[in-house]
Structure 1
Amino acid sequence: MSRRTPDRSKSIARGRRKLEEHNTKPTTPLLAVSFFAADVQAGAGPFLGIYLQAHGWSPDMIGTVLTLGAIVGVLVTAPAGALVDAISHRRAVVVAASALTVAAAGVIWMSRGYWPIALSQIATAVAGSVMGTALMGLTLGMTGRRNFDRQYGRNQVANHAGNIVAAALSGAVGWWLGIVWVFALGAAFGVACIVSVLLIPARAVHRHYARGLAHEDDKDRAQVRADSVRALIRCRPLLLLALALAAFSLGNSALLPLYSLAQAAAHHRNASAITAANIIISQLVMLSAALYASRAIRRWGFWWVILATLITLPLRGLTAAWITAEWGIGLPESTARRMARQPLRLPDGLHCAR
């Protein structure tokens, strides 16, 4: 019998032992990063519109700034993923994204000029795009592909919880201290995210697991390379999906901030409380939508579910414009927002057939 079979078996067994070592390492700091990254990814969000409106900004100027951030967020998503793949120190990427958010909050605190605010939104969009891909890389690097889905699901629960807590705290802070202190709270979340990611040992993040290039350690070689970006360009269905999701993001991102502005102006209530209520409703609905989306995907498949979620975007706009003028808070609008967004969190396994 050839000696290659036992050698290969030993190599695979060694790889599995090392993978198990990665899986048994504590993931509590990773959950903490996901929790605090919620505010880092969202940035000032709807509260910025309320703040600028209170300081005399017109709706068209506010919409321009928010749209600029959304466009930059769409454009930098793919380069952000390439950057995270190219850099082996993914904890440093999270630190940099969090620091960028802290700096953006500081700019908003110190200046209300158009270009400083616009630059802060660009920085926030870049930080949010980088943070999302960096968290996926950290999760893959710590758990491997086998346990990625389970850990990523836990990360999402922590992320939604972070959004809810951040919105509640922002509403309370805005009520008692003023909207400007909401940005200080965002900076505090950024600092907490930096501290949390530094609690993850560097050796706990496997370099090639984090890129999704190796299932076992026997494949962990320097020759392992990712597919060229040309593989993506040649895949027409994936390109069409990317364009559809880009258009969805542009239409979806500014609706909640502008809707909160309209609600605050129409009902003359506390703007921070209205905005916080909209965000909390959105996050609570997302948890339910996540459960329903997984069942719907198993029953009808990805493409019908994606089509249904894309249809909810114009329905959401019509609801916000006509139906909810007397509601005071955006229950229907926020519900539609999260029902639309949750199924569009596409899994790693979605790819082109070859």
Structure 2
Amino acid sequence: METNARSLKGLDWISLLMADVKDGVGVYLSVFLLTVRHWSPDKIGLVIAGPSLIGVLVQGPAGAFIDRTRHKRLLLVVASVIIAGCCLAVVLNSNFYPVLLSQLGVGLTQSVYAPCVAAITLGIVGQAALSQRIGRNESFNHLGNMVAAIIAGLLGRYVSYEAIFYFSMAQCALLVVAVLVVRERDIDHDRARGATAAAGQPASVASVKELLANRSILVLTVAIALFHFANAPLLPLLGQKMGLVDQKNSSLYLSGAIIVAQGVMVFVAKYAGRAAENGRKKVLLVAFVLLPVRALLFAFIGNPYALTAIQLLDGIGAGLLGVVTILMIADLSAGTGRFNLLQGVVYSAIGLAAALSSIGAGYVVEHFGYAAGFGALAGAGVLATVFYWLAVPETKDIQPAVPAVA
């Protein structure tokens, strides 16, 4: 089936603009609260953990809902409006609880973005073309992050940190326009959930029990969660460390770190989509190996320019992870009709891991310093790498599941 060029172009723009929107300014919130609001690292850790904690509760149900709904575009529109409101709430409030509530709102809605875009992509291009299309989506996503970081860094340095939040609101509005570029008629909603159907018959769907009983799914979920347990606090802590060294230029340093990483990811994501066609596991192993190396370097290096350069490693790792994780999920859910539910389960595990590590890292930094915090995360990264290599199988040639129930 030949797909519509307009819808594919819309996917490009969604991926580009979604980069910063889905996290509600992301890591800049950490530096804003430290350097402008003068919050302590442990309180910042709680706020940063908020979206992840909510994600644990809603990712699974959100994925199941995305499997069923034919209004995936509307979900993206509503989520973008809510994210814009949460950004405004941070600017207008300096107290802990209003800011925490705004981030809980971010967590509630950001669970929609990744599975919805992946589902729309699968529904348009199909399983056979998914590898290269996901690589293209991720390349545009990282390009969007890079451009947004440049603009946010300049706004934070020469206007105000608050201006970064208004910029994110403008991105939300543009994302709504991009979503409407995708034509509804180009999305095959059965294919978007990884379901198969015989001619003239409804698509078969696996039971949740059947899906979660798959050992390969379990160990992949644990491995990805361990990765994010080690990775999630690294960039926020890096931003705080840079802010303490030079508060005036902290937004520029942090933007530089993001730009370096995202610039590398643009090219790595394209490579990952092609390389993963020959096997997923070894490609993703590179991301796991680089994680503890990066954390250790952050622990012992204090120069902001050197710290920025180290983000090259994050560019390689995250570029590979973003593409290959989705492909492995698609492999394991093929034929089940539960592609988005499985995404939700994996993202829930990621959210729990990220929340726990953000809280724990904030506590360690508060009582033992930044070097100890980065060192602990490096140890977690080593554990994640060993588990991944020993436990997770290759998924590229796995046979599509045949649901036992309809």
TM range (shorter): 0.7 to 0.9
Task: Work out which of the residue numbers 280, 285, 288 in structure 2 matches 1:302.
Answer: 280
Write out per-residue CA displacement over residues 184-221 of structure 1, whole angstroms, 9 at most, x where no aligned residue.
11111111111111232322222222223248xx7474
Q: Structure 2: state its 5+ residue gaps.
A: 333-394, 402-406
Q: CA deviation at 1:303?
A: 3.4
Task: Work out which of the residue numbers 262, 265, 269 in structure 2 matches 1:283.
Answer: 262
- Identity value in percent: 30
User: Considering only aligned residues, what root-mean-square deviation do their CA atoms show, in Å?
Assistant: 2.5
Task: Work out which of the residue numbers 310, 314, 318 in structure 2 matches 1:341.
Answer: 318
- Contact 1:94 1:131 survives alignment (8 Å): yes
Pairs within 5 Å for 1:19-98: 19-20=1-2, 22-24=3-5, 26-53=7-34, 54-98=36-80
Q: 1:171 to 1:103 in 2, by over 3 A?
A: same
Letter in 1 for 2:317: A
Q: What does residue 203 of structure 1 align with?
A: 185
Q: 1:342 to 1:41 in 2, by over 3 A?
A: same
Q: 1:46 to 1:331 in 2, by over 3 A?
A: same
Letter in 2 for 1:273: L
- SS of structure 2 residue aligned to 1:127: helix
- SS of structure 2 residue aligned to 1:119: helix
Q: What does residue 3 of structure 1 align with?
A: none
Q: 1:220 to 1:247 in 2, by over 3 A?
A: farther
* Whole-angstrom distance in 2 between the partners of 1:30 and 1:238: 27
Q: What does residue 125 of structure 1 align with?
A: 107
* Whole-angstrom distance in 2 between the partners of 1:153 and 1:295: 8
Q: Structure 1: state its 5+ residue gaps.
A: 1-18
Q: What does residue 205 of structure 2 align with?
A: 226
- SS of structure 1 residue aligned to 2:165: helix
Write out per-residue CA displacement over residues 154-205 of structure 1, whole angstroms, 9 at most, x where no aligned residue.
2222211111111111111112210011011111111111111123232222
Q: What does residue 11 of structure 1 align with?
A: none
Q: 1:139 to 1:205 in 2, by over 3 A?
A: same
Letter in 2 for 1:33: I
Q: Which moved more, 1:247-256 or 1:329-338?
A: 329-338
Question: TM-score, normalised on structure 1?
Answer: 0.84
* Whole-angstrom distance in 2 between the partners of 1:231 and 1:338: 36
* Whole-angstrom distance in 2 between the partners of 1:245 and 1:149: 19
Q: CA deviation at 1:296?
A: 6.6
Letter in 1 for 2:245: A
Write out per-residue CA displacement over residues 119-150 of structure 1, whole angstroms, 9 at most, x where no aligned residue.
22222233333101101111122233343333
Q: CA deviation at 1:89?
A: 0.9
- SS of structure 1 residue aligned to 2:86: helix
- Contact 1:263 1:329 survives alignment (8 Å): no
Are 1:246 and 2:225 matched, yes or no? yes
* Whole-angstrom distance in 2 between the partners of 1:313 and 1:94: 31
Q: Greater relative contact order: 1 or 2 (C-alpha under 8 angstroms, separation 6 or more)?
A: 2
Q: Which moved more, 1:265-274 or 1:164-173?
A: 265-274
Q: What does residue 7 of structure 1 align with?
A: none
Q: What does residue 362 of structure 2 align with?
A: none
Higher gyration radius (CA): 1
Question: TM-score, normalised on structure 2?
Answer: 0.74
Q: 1:159 to 1:325 in 2, by over 3 A?
A: same
Q: 1:56 to 1:26 in 2, by over 3 A?
A: closer
* Whole-angstrom distance in 2 between the partners of 1:24 and 1:343: 26
- Figure out how many residues of one structure are paired with residues of the other and give that number: 330
- Contact 1:267 1:328 survives alignment (8 Å): no
Letter in 1 for 2:293: L
